[in-house]
Structure 1
Amino acid sequence: MAFLRGVKRRAQALVLPTIFFALCGYFAHHAIHGTRGLIARDTRNAEISAARIVLAEAEAERDAMERKVAGLRAEHLDRDMLEERARALLNVVAKDEIIVPYAPNRRLF
């Protein structure tokens, strides 16, 4: 009987620390692996970095297009730019012009 009381007393003494360590383990696991944990944060930061690179490329492409279009605006029309663009779109050349072919991967436009 005394043996069972000792076992019961030890079991009661271990219940609270066991629950505490289980809760600590639960929160530690979710702090690392949860939807807002450390691993998710690293993944999100990598996605943000990749998106910033794509954004920079898109902005550079937009700026290049804006520079090309700026030469074709009515306020300051660049005749050479207009003629070059029209010839490229219409595939027309004059009789006295020399044609320099480009490789397929090296297009002007």
Structure 2
Amino acid sequence: MIIRTRWRSFFQTVTLHLGAAALVGYFAFQGYNGQYGLLARRSFEQQHAELTEERDRLHAQRAALQAKVRLMSPDLVDADMLDEQARALLNLVHPKDLVLLRVPDAAQPR
């Protein structure tokens, strides 16, 4: 009877320690590899940097387009911008302009 009690006490202690070790191991594993762990944080930071770079590029592109639109506004028409747009749309050139014709890249012999 006493031996059974000692074995039961020993197994309860071992079971308790193994359970605690398993619980600590699980949380350590999840802290490193989990959905919000250290590896995921690195991925989030890299994605944040890429998206920030893309946002800055788009802001610059938008600023350039807004500047072009401001030049074409009906209140203030820039003569150079109007001339450039008219030539592009109508496919015309001024008689005093020098025109260089280029062969498309696909049609060039190699």
Q: Output the CA distance in 2 between the equivalents of 1:72 and 1:58.
A: 21
| Percent identity (aligned) | 31
Within-5 A mapping of 1:49-68: 49-68=49-68
Q: How many residues align?
A: 104
Query: CA RMSD, aligned part only?
Result: 2.3
- Cα deviation, residue 73, structure 1: 0.5
Q: Output the CA distance in 1 between the equivalents of 2:47 and 2:102.
A: 38
**CA shift digits 1:55-106 (9 cap, x unpaired):** 11111111111111211101111122101111022211122222256797xx
- Please list every run of 5 or more consecutive structure 2 residues that lacks an aligned counterpart in the other structure: 105-110
- Please list every run of 5 or more consecutive structure 1 residues that lacks an aligned counterpart in the other structure: 105-109
Amino acid at match of 2:42: D
What is the TM-score when the length of structure 2 is the normalising length? Answer: 0.79
What is the TM-score when the length of structure 1 is the normalising length? Answer: 0.80
Q: Output the CA distance in 2 between the equivalents of 1:22 and 1:2.
A: 30
